[in-house]
């Protein structure tokens, strides 16, 4: 294509107006900086997003069935049978939960007590992966025997207790009834601290404590009823599909089905908004650079009016004139984008492999700035950069095509 050949010559040749070359260089540098910054920042956002997601998913079930009141034996049987026959379900566990008051001496804390089954101790996610001290095995031989309980490290510090200590657990609803009816019998039990865990999530650490299912049912006065089921899938991407299937099959207002995303929807939405805000703000750097391309090409058209006239007199079509100046602008964009991609990817690679931007593990749960380089980000940044360059090159190229043939030859 002779248009590309001429545009290359125009790009590398000396200009009568030196300012044109300077603006072209500034445009290339601006696009390079903008693209590199976008790649690095987007990768850092991806890294933090993946870190938060991994922490939450490591502890949260993929899908949760929660009863508005409680599930009786018949409802439990129906749901259990359906989940067993579902091909997407890997494991599922029944749980019972409710508000309780923990007491150790003069220390009190209001938390959510979650009763879990013995099978929970065999799962490789949740509390087991976060255990710091003690044992996750909460099995007790008798309902009269002191049941075992799991506390977070934060909660253990607030209650001034450790593994092996005994604490008092009282039903919060029962205590509220006592304030009205003094004849009510308080539901209080002694629990032995079996283990201490840390999820790296303060919300969980100060909100939940764990005990055997039957002990939670007893203190919460649920008899044999449960609060719901926690479900783990073979593939997390099937969460929404399973939610729809459960909702469609069990058409009742008694249960609420939520996915891992629903549990922290606000957090994920905020992270998404921050990510796109950073993308739009840093895209302004590329936009400013492309405006420089518009300026340099416009001056180049003025400078090359005589050349345009000569080419037109030789029979070169208007579309070819447009292509010449379009290619000149796009070449600047391609060079800047390519350099920016190389720099951005290289910086991300250095951080991933060598962790040159380190963090203090004593203050943070990670030892370095997390970076997650994704192909989709690279392609989207490259496309955005080239698209803006294309738009900036369009006006000067069309202006070049409108140059009058006779006037342009007479120009000099």
Whether 133 and 162 map to the same domain: the answer is yes
Q: Which of 240, 261, 282 is the endpoint of a domain?
A: 261
Whether 346 and 224 map to the same domain: the answer is no
Whether 73 and 191 map to the same domain: the answer is yes
Whether 375 and 256 map to the same domain: the answer is no
The whole-number pLDDT of residue 378 equals 94
Does residue 169 contact residue 113 with C-beta atoms inside 8 Å?
Answer: yes
CA distance 92 to 83: 8
The whole-number pLDDT of residue 5 equals 56
Whether 197 and 326 map to the same domain: the answer is no
Cβ count near 187 (within 10 Å): 19
| Residue stretches of the chain with pLDDT short of 50 | 124
- Number of domains, the chain: 2
Q: Pick from 284, 243, 233: which is nearest to 125 by CA?
A: 233
The whole-number pLDDT of residue 233 equals 92
Q: What is the DSSP string of 227-280?
A: EEEEEEESSGGGHHHHHHHHHHHS--TTEEEEEHHHHTHHHHHHHHHHHHHHHH
Whether 9 and 96 map to the same domain: the answer is no
Whether 109 and 245 map to the same domain: the answer is yes
The whole-number pLDDT of residue 111 equals 94
Whether 359 and 231 map to the same domain: the answer is no
CA distance 372 to 50: 8
Q: Which of 239, 261, 283 is the endpoint of a domain?
A: 261
Whether 233 and 87 map to the same domain: the answer is yes
Q: Where in the sequence is the domain holding 280, given as residue range(s)?
A: 2-56+267-410
- Percent residues over pLDDT 90 in the chain: 33
Does residue 199 contact residue 114 with C-beta atoms inside 8 Å?
Answer: no
Read off the pTM: 0.79
CA distance 166 to 164: 7
CA distance 58 to 260: 10
Do strands 147-152 and 131-134 pair parallel, antiparallel, or not at all (unpaired)?
unpaired
Whether 245 and 208 map to the same domain: the answer is yes
Q: Which of 261, 286, 311 is the endpoint of a domain?
A: 261
Whether 46 and 111 map to the same domain: the answer is no
Rg (CA), the chain: 33
CA distances to 102, 168, 211 from 190, in Å: 10, 5, 12
């Amino acid at each position: 294509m002779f248009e590309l050949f001429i545009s290359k010559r125009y790009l590398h040749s000396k200009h009568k107006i030196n300012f044109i070359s300077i603006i072209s260089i500034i445009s290339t540098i601006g696009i390079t900086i903008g693209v590199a910054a976008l790649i690095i920042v987007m990768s850092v956002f991806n890294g933090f997003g993946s870190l938060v997601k991994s922490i939450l998913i490591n502890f949260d079930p993929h899908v949760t069935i929660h009863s508005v009141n409680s599930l009786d034996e018949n409802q439990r049987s129906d749901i259990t049978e359906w989940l067993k026959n579902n091909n997407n379900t890997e494991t599922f566990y029944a749980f019972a939960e409710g508000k309780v008051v923990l007491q150790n001496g003069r220390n009190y804390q209001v938390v959510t007590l979650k009763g879990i089954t013995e099978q929970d101790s065999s799962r490789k996610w949740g509390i087991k992966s976060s255990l710091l001290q003690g044992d996750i095995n909460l099995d007790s031989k008798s309902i009269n025997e002191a049941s075992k309980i799991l506390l977070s490290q934060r909660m253990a510090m607030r209650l001034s207790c450790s593994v092996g200590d005994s604490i008092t657990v009282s039903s919060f609803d029962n205590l509220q009834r006592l304030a009205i009816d003094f004849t009510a019998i308080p539901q209080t039990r002694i629990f032995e601290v079996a283990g201490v865990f840390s999820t790296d999530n303060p919300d969980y650490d100060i909100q939940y404590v764990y005990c055997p299912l039957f002990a939670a049912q007893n203190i919460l006065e649920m008899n044999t009823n449960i609060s719901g089921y926690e479900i783990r899938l073979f593939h997390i991407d099937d969460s929404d599909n399973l939610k729809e299937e459960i909702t469609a099959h069990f058409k009742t207002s008694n249960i609420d089905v939520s996915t891992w995303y629903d549990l922290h929807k606000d957090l994920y939405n905020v992270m998404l908004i921050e990510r796109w805000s950073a993308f739009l703000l840093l895209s302004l750097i590329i936009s400013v650079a492309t405006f420089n391309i518009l300026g340099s090409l416009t001056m180049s058209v003025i400078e090359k009016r005589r050349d345009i006239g000569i080419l037109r007199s030789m029979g070169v079509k208007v579309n070819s004139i447009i292509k010449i100046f379009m290619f000149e602008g796009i070449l600047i964009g391609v060079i800047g984008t390519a350099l920016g991609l190389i720099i951005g990817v290289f910086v991300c690679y250095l951080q991933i492999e060598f962790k040159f931007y380190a963090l203090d593990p004593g203050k943070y749960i990670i030892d370095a700035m997390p970076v997650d380089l994704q192909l989709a980000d690279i392609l989207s940044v490259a496309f955005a950069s080239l698209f803006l360059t294309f738009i900036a090159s369009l006006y000067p190229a069309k202006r070049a095509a409108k140059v009058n043939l006779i006037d342009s030859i007479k120009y000099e």
